[in-house]
Amino acid sequence: MTADTPALIVSGLTLGLARDRSARALVEDLSFDVAPGEMLAFVGESGSGKSLTAAAIFGLLPLGIRRMAGSICVNGTELTTLSDRRLRAWRGRDMGLIFQNPLTALSPSVGIQAQIAETYRAHKGGTRDAARLRARALLTEVGLQAVATPPDRYPHQLSGGMRQRVMIALALACDPALIIADEPTTALDVLIQAQILDLIARLQKERGLAVVFITHDLRLAARYADRILVLYAGRAVEEGDAGTFFTAPRHPYSRALRDAVPTIPATGRRLAEIPGQPPGPRDLFEGCRFAPRCPNVRDDCRRTEPAMTFDGTRFACLHPCVGTP
């Protein structure tokens, strides 16, 4: 593999309800890749399939959800054909997951340094002392020098921001190629939020990590991501370089999302609202799924599901926005 080989390649990923074949797919024919050292942000309204995609990559789909089609390749290894045992070994070693609430990932009764050391030893072996040193170095790397000096601390003794740093150290324990951060800062105040994302961005660059950053917040995506992927009701509707995306989004949904973001200082511009709701899993429709809410809608949109096309960015729309507003 070369440095340009994507660390993550997802192609044709389709996820659905295992027992309800009449419902539409929850994630449909999703394809994207992420290179080492690159951050791809997933944005889209609640229920658009961001977390399910992350769960599928980790092989941790919730009960009742099944992968119907598609492949997931991390660092050259196809994950969808691995046995459960091999996938478990892979998961801790080559991929790290950071999510909103670190308390659900950390054991309350084991010191944090010991938790990191145990995770390291479970995957990499070696002596207890070596694992402890590794844990201490990781805690220092994520800015927890004080916590890295004995005595070991328990999760409840730390603030929310510090706990999220511990989770990042835990995710990095075995030197993974890929990190998925699913709304890692939603529960934190804005200053701590920026510190945590600065940390993730620094590690991404220094370690050449591929990062998938899942967020509702377009401002965070604009500030940190190299590329943006917009999901709408389970389908990718636009994907492109972050700079181009924010100056000239092509899909009307992307544009509406962008125009709904408040600015500081306030410009006096009225914030755009997107009327209506995305379709639920049991709402069936023909044509484009955004048509009922779309300002550019025409008759053909209600008949034909638009395919992804490439014109500077990738987008799926029959009547895309043109020019910069």
User: Which residues sit at the interface with Mg ion, rule CB under 5 A?
Assistant: 51
50 touching ligand ATP, by CB under 6 A: yes
Q: For residues 207 and 216, which CB has a smaller minimum distance to ligand ATP in the complex?
A: 216
Choosing from 16, 39, 43, 48, the residue that interacts with ligand ATP (CB under 6 A) is 48
100 touching ligand ATP, by CB under 6 A: no
Binding mask 216-235 for ligand ATP (x = CB under 6 A): x-------------------
Stretch that binds ligand ATP, among 43-51, 77-85, 112-120, 313-321 (CB under 6 A): 43-51
- Residue 26 interacting partner from Mg ion, ligand ATP, none (CB closer than 5 to 8 Å by kind): ligand ATP
- Listed residue (173, 306, 177) closest to 250, CA to CA: 306
Choosing from 51, 75, 185, 254, the residue that interacts with ligand ATP (CB under 6 A) is 51
Choosing from 25, 26, 301, 316, the residue that interacts with ligand ATP (CB under 6 A) is 26
115 touching ligand ATP, by CB under 6 A: no
Contacts of 186-192 spanning 24+ positions with Cβ under 8 A = 186/100, 186/215, 186/216, 187/100, 187/101, 187/160, 188/160, 188/161, 188/164, 192/160, 192/161, 192/164
Question: Which phi and psi (to 5°) does residue 93 adopt?
Answer: -90, -45
Stretch that binds ligand ATP, among 48-56, 91-99, 135-143, 309-317 (CB under 6 A): 48-56
23 touching ligand ATP, by CB under 6 A: no
Rounded to a whole number of angstroms, the minimum distance from the CB of residue 57 to ligand ATP is 12
215 touching ligand ATP, by CB under 6 A: no
- 55-85 b/e with 16+ CB inside 10 Å = b? bbbbbeeeeebebbebebbbbeeebeebeee
- Nearest-5° angle of CA 262, CA 238, CA 304? 120
281 touching ligand ATP, by CB under 6 A: yes
Dihedral angle over CA of 214, 216, 222, 225, nearest 10:
0
Beta-sheet strand order (sheet of 65-74): 27-34, 8-17, 65-74, 77-78
Using CA atoms, how far apart are residues 215 and 60, in angstroms rounded to an integer? 19
- Residue 48 interacting partner from Mg ion, ligand ATP, none (CB closer than 5 to 8 Å by kind): ligand ATP
- The answer to whether 167 and 105 have CB atoms below 8 angstroms apart is yes
Identify residues 57-76 at the interface with ligand ATP (CB under 6 A).
Answer: 62, 64-65
- The single residue listed with the structure tokens 């660092």 is 75
Rounded to a whole number of angstroms, the minimum distance from the CB of residue 215 to ligand ATP is 9
Rounded to a whole number of angstroms, the minimum distance from the CB of residue 53 to ligand ATP is 7
Residues in a beta bridge with 227: 40, 241
Rounded to a whole number of angstroms, the minimum distance from the CB of residue 278 to ligand ATP is 8
Using CA atoms, how far apart are residues 126 and 109, in angstroms rounded to an integer? 24
Binding site for ligand ATP (CB under 6 A): 26, 44, 46-52, 62, 64-65, 216, 281
